A and B are shown apart, each in its own frame.
Chain A
């Protein structure tokens, strides 16, 4: 949870309207796991005031040492500012934050389901799982082809299945249908995307009667990202209240719905 300036090493539009920002990785981020996030602070002044939460998208060895990346669509002032950072610029970050994905040991068939920009943390998870010698099927959904993470950027061993709402890439429709077909094959499911995708997936999983655990990475309005502002509440169906930033962002869907 240290606050630290990191240096931008690469800033690029990776596909469609989606940007990737690579930064030097400070030592305390070395133990981060896929699904954890960082708060990135916008500008040096008080407007915009608050940090933005980003999943760690990937890590790599750069020329000057280890680097990490965040992946984002430009949707507001914060992401607009971030998209204009250039190599050499400083950006302040705090992290790693939250509880990430928890792949079980000794299981082989991993199904990763991403909606839109929700693919960001799943790419790093896929990298890791492939390194560990597991089978990875990555199911990505978007409105159109420009929203689908490019296959060429993935480890070759990852099987990519795409769905688009306009049919411009892969099957026309939502991820729900291929998810239903792949669920019996999978040993464990990891998901990141909008809430309505989680709801649909939970519904499919419940109807299947297969009792497969689905680890979902939730998103919510955050002011601090570290459990002090209480903005990012989530209310499990069985009662109580949890915070996305510290109790999650990873939740088992059965604990929520």
Chain B
């Protein structure tokens, strides 16, 4: 069987390059911090892990119900329940340091300054290979999404993080804007090394019997196979305004889904909600992607990145 080169490099040419063995990552919030998975499965086979969204201080998260199933999807409003960056650095990162798979820490600040402080706390920490900067969480009152809906604020956050760390950083953007392109362009110019497209789609469900929203916070973010076509279009659009690698997230459940995103212009993909349905989903996506490449005679993943794009 022909060998397929699945490797992907992020932040190429920067002080700290990030080389992934393959383009299959896991999406933030769908793998916790990976510790439980590592006890049962080989996380080192994956391209990269993205941590649970991490804030400066620990957060208890939102009241319940926090999730609701919808057709081929689910809406969540977890509200960044996490241990806080201090515990993450002292207790979790040392475990990551023993893994071969790189770990990106997903960070979310309530203020611009908090993004900088988070970046500083994580800079140089063994086990932390990079950052994913969340400017797109729909489920918190302060920070998150408000930074992600304005190109100037999005660029400010990107610069603030860049100023405090040399770690490779991807900025995770929201589908909840009229046009994603100015935001992608702004964060690209402001020092991002990659763009994660996309966070969940702002959504809601109503309990007809109780005559009120299902989720305690009323609104949440939609994920799962239902959002894949939306994510695909946004990846395609983002690729038109940036030369940075795009990490695609949004309903990837199979190797063929991954191929679609790569063809739209993504350099890597993140498996998210599919892991809730099957804890081995990221590994299955990887196996299917490799099989597809072998079958199609693709010898390097770079051969298919962006091939579906119009050449005009």
Q: Which residues of A contact B (CB under 8 A)?
A: 1-3, 41, 46-51, 92, 94, 220-221, 223-224, 226-235, 240-241, 246
Contact = CB atoms under 8 A, between A and B. Distances in A.
A94 B23 CA distance: 27
A251 B69 CA distance: 26
Nearest to A228: B32
Interface stretch (B71-79, B144-152, B160-168): B71-79
A51 B69 CA distance: 10
B61 A233 contact: yes
Per DSSP, are chain A's interface residues mostly helix, strand or loop, or mixed? loop
A195 to B, nearest CB: 11
Contacts of B31: 228
A232 B32 contact: no
B30 A241 contact: no
Interface string B263-296: 0000000000101111110000000000000000
Contacts of B63: 233, 235
Contact of B224 (A49, A92, A94, A241): A49
B278 A3 contact: yes
A233 B81 contact: yes
Given A232-B64, A240-B60, A226 B74 contact: no
Nearest to A244: B64
Given A47-B71, A228-B36, A229-B30, A223 B76 contact: yes
Interface residues of B, number: 34
B88 interface: no
B260 to A, nearest CB: 15
Contacts of B76: 223, 229, 231
Nearest to B37: A228
7 contacts: A1-B36, A3-B278, A49-B72, A226-B279, A229-B29, A229-B67, A233-B60
Contacts of B225: 46, 49
A97 to B, nearest CB: 10
B68 to A, nearest CB: 7
Most buried by A among B32, B65, B71, B72: B32
A49 B74 contact: yes
Nearest to A220: B64
B81 A221 contact: no
A92 B278 CA distance: 10
A249 B132 CA distance: 32
Given A226-B36, A230-B78, A41 B277 contact: yes
Most chain-A CB neighbours within 10 Å: which of B29, B73, B224, B277? B277
A89 B141 CA distance: 47
A218 to B, nearest CB: 11
Q: Could you say which of B60, B273, B276 has the most chain A C-beta atoms within 10 Å of its C-beta? A: B276
A230 B61 contact: yes
Contacts of A228: 30-32, 36, 275-276
Contacts of A224: 275-276, 279
Nearest to A92: B278
Contacts of A230: 29, 32, 52, 61, 66, 78, 81
Contacts of B279: 1, 3, 94, 224, 226
A50 B65 contact: no
Nearest to B33: A228
B40 interface: yes
B108 to A, nearest CB: 14
Given A233-B81, A241-B81, A47 B72 contact: yes
Most buried by B among A2, A41, A49, A231: A49
B60 A235 contact: yes
B253 interface: yes
B72 A241 contact: no
A226 B61 CA distance: 18
Interface in B228-281: 253, 273, 275-280
A49 B69 contact: yes
Contacts of A234: 64
A51 B281 CA distance: 14
Contacts of B278: 3, 41, 92, 94
Contacts of B224: 46, 49
Nearest to B26: A228
B92 to A, nearest CB: 14
Contacts of B65: 221, 231
Contacts of A232: 64
Contacts of A48: 69
A107 to B, nearest CB: 32
Given A221-B68, A230-B66, A230-B81, A50 B277 contact: yes
A118 B264 CA distance: 49
B30 A1 contact: no
Contact of A227 (B36, B72, B74, B277): B36
A241 B74 contact: no
B152 to A, nearest CB: 32
A233 B65 CA distance: 9
Contacts of A240: 60
B60 A46 contact: no
B61 A50 contact: no
B54 to A, nearest CB: 13
